Structure 1
Amino acid sequence: MIKIDALPAFSDNYLWLLQDEVRHTCAVVDPGDAAPVLAWLEAHPGWRLTDILVTHHHHDHVGGVARLKEASGARVLGPAREQIPVRDEALEDGDRVLVLGLEFQVLDVPGHTAGHIAYYHEDQQRPLLFCGDTLFAAGCGRLFEGTPEQMHRSLSRLAALPETTLVYCTHEYTLSNLRFARAVEPGNAATAARFEALSRLREAGGITLPSTIALERATNPFLRADETSVKQMADERAGRDNATPTEVFATLRAWKDSF
Structure 2
Amino acid sequence: MASDAAGALEIVQIPVLNDNYVYLAREPGSAATAVVDPAVAAPVLEALDARGWHLTHILNTHHHPDHVGGNLELKEKTGCIIVGPRADEARIPGLDVAVGDGDRYALGGAEAQVFDVPGHTRGHIAYWFPKADALFCGDTMFAMGCGRLFEGSPAQMWSSLSKLAALPDATRIFCAHEYTMANGRFALSVEPQNAALQARMKEVERLRAADRPTVPSTLGQEKATNPFLRPDSPDLQSTIGLAGAGLVEVFARTRELKDSFRG
TM-score interval for Structure 1 and Structure 2 normalised by the shorter chain: over 0.9
Counterpart Cα distance in 2 of 1:200 and 1:119: 30
The answer to whether the aligner puts 1:172 opposite 2:174 as a matched pair is no
The aligned residue for residue 250 of structure 2 is 248
User: Alpha carbon RMSD of aligned pairs, Å?
Assistant: 1.3
Following TM superposition, by how much is the alpha carbon of 1:195 offset from its aligned partner in structure 2, in angstroms?
0.6
Q: CA deviation at 1:24?
A: 4.3
Using the TM superposition, give the Cα deviation of residue 106 of structure 1 relative to its aligned residue in structure 2, in angstroms.
0.5
Residue number in structure 2 paired with 1:4: 11
Q: State the shift of 1:19 in Å.
A: 2.4
Distance 1:162 1:147, change over 3 A: same
Is 1:18 the counterpart of 2:20? The answer is no
In the TM superposition, what is the alpha-carbon distance from 1:242 to its structure 2 partner?
Answer: 6.8
Question: Paired residue for 1:38?
Answer: 45
Match of 2:236 in 1: 230
- Kindly provide the CA deviation profile for residues 199-252 of structure 1, in whole angstroms up to 9, marking residues without a partner as x: 1111112100111110000000000001111111222xxxx6673110000000
Deviates more, 1:32-41 or 1:62-71: 32-41
Q: Distance between the aligned counterparts of 2:146 and 2:127, measured in 1?
A: 16
Aligned ranges 1:122-161 → 2 under 5 Å: 122-123=130-131, 126-161=132-167
Query: Which residue of structure 1 aligns with residue 101 of structure 2?
Result: 93
Q: Is the 8 Å Cα contact of residues 27 and 110 (structure 2) preserved in structure 1? A: no
Which 5+ residue runs of structure 2 have no aligned equivalent?
4-8
Residue 211 in structure 1 maps to residue 202 in structure 2: no
Give the secondary-structure state (helix, strand or coil) at the position aligned to 1:94.
coil
> 2:248 is matched by which residue type in structure 1?
T
The 1:242/1:70 distance shift into structure 2, 3 A limit, reads farther
1:135–1:155: 8 Å Cα contact kept in structure 2?
yes
TM-score by length of 1: 0.94
The residue matched to 2:183 in structure 1 has which SS? helix
1:221 corresponds in structure 2 to 227
Aligned to 2:86: 80
What is the percentage of aligned positions where both structures have the same residue? Answer: 53
Q: Deviations over 1:99-149 (max 9, x none)?
A: 1321101101000000100001123xx421100000000000000000000
CA distance in 2, matches of 1:3, 1:103: 14
TM-score normalised by the chain length of structure 2: 0.92
Q: Is 1:107 matched up with 2:109? A: no
1:62 aligns with 2:68: yes
Cα distance in structure 2, aligned partners of 1:21 and 1:202: 31
**Aligned counterpart in structure 2 of residue 50 of structure 1, from 48, 56, 59:** 56
Q: Give distance in 2, aligned partners of 1:23 and 1:79.
A: 24
Rounded to whole Å, the distance in 2 between the matches of 1:44 and 1:208 is 24
Which runs of at least 4 in structure 1 moved beyond 3 Å after TM superposition?
Answer: 20-25
